[in-house]
Amino acid sequence: MKRMVSLGIIGICLLCYGTEIRAASPNQIVQKELEYISNHKPVLYSKLWIRSMQTSVLFHHNDRIHHQDTLYNIKHSSLVGIKQMSLTKASIYMPRVSQYVSKFGKENVQVYYLAVQYDVKKENIYQMNGTNYFLQVFVREYGDWKIAESIVAPTDQILANGNGFGTDEEKNYSEKRKNVK
């Protein structure tokens, strides 16, 4: 019953929130994403995602419901680097890329490798102080770019294939994640 009430509240928030989230490019979506993360705005953050994921993203990041540090664990975030990756290369790390291409068309799918600086309250394997690395799939849904998927980047593989930024922090990222408790 509590879960149904929570989902109902989230649904109403999504429907009633009047701010339109539009961006001309995935790069602009990333800028908005980091702004909403830093300012703890889970409703706006969820609207950056494709429609089928918005409720799940909002539910996961709503601290009042989950009582976990997710979006609220991040005190500040900023973009360090962004690099578009070809769909062929991206599919090595993210097997579902082909599903997005099938559903939205090749011209409506882009994948980016991101380096994001976080200042967090408590480190975990998904959010660490310093630079964190992610792969994100963006799709054009109803004319607007949206996030379809986001994963912690397998930096060891990306560097081995010559697709990384080549920084020392990136080279040590996997080991740093293993040591976080």
Domain boundaries, the chain: 2-15+23-179
Hey, is 89 helix, strand or coil? helix
Q: What is the mean pLDDT of residues 95-114?
A: 97
Report the pLDDT value the prediction gives residue 47, as an integer from 0 to 100: 96
pLDDT digits (tens, 9 = 90+) for 134-172: 999 999 999 999 999 999 999 999 999 999 999 999 999
Q: What is the mean pLDDT of residues 46-58?
A: 92
E-state strands within 27-88: 74-85
Q: For domain 2-15+23-179, give the fold.
A: Nuclear Transport Factor 2; Chain: A, (3.10.450)
Question: Over the Cα atoms of the chain, what is R_g?
Answer: 16
DSSP string, 99-160: HHHHHH-GGGEEEEEEEEEEEESS-BTTB-SEEEEEEEEEEEETTEEEEEEEEE--HHHHHH
Q: What is the DSSP code (8-state) at residue 49?
A: B
Report the pLDDT value the prediction gives residue 68, as an integer from 0 to 100: 60
59: phi > 0 → left, psi -120 to 50 → alpha, else beta; which?
alpha
Report the alpha-carbon angle 88-97-106, nearest 5. 70
CB neighbour class for 8 (10 Å; exposed up to 12, middle 13-18, buried from 19): exposed
Contact (CB, 8 A) for 106 and 147: no
What rounded mean pLDDT belongs to the chain?
86
Report the pLDDT value the prediction gives residue 107, as an integer from 0 to 100: 97
State the Cα–Cα distance between residues 174 and 134, nearest whole angstrom. Answer: 12
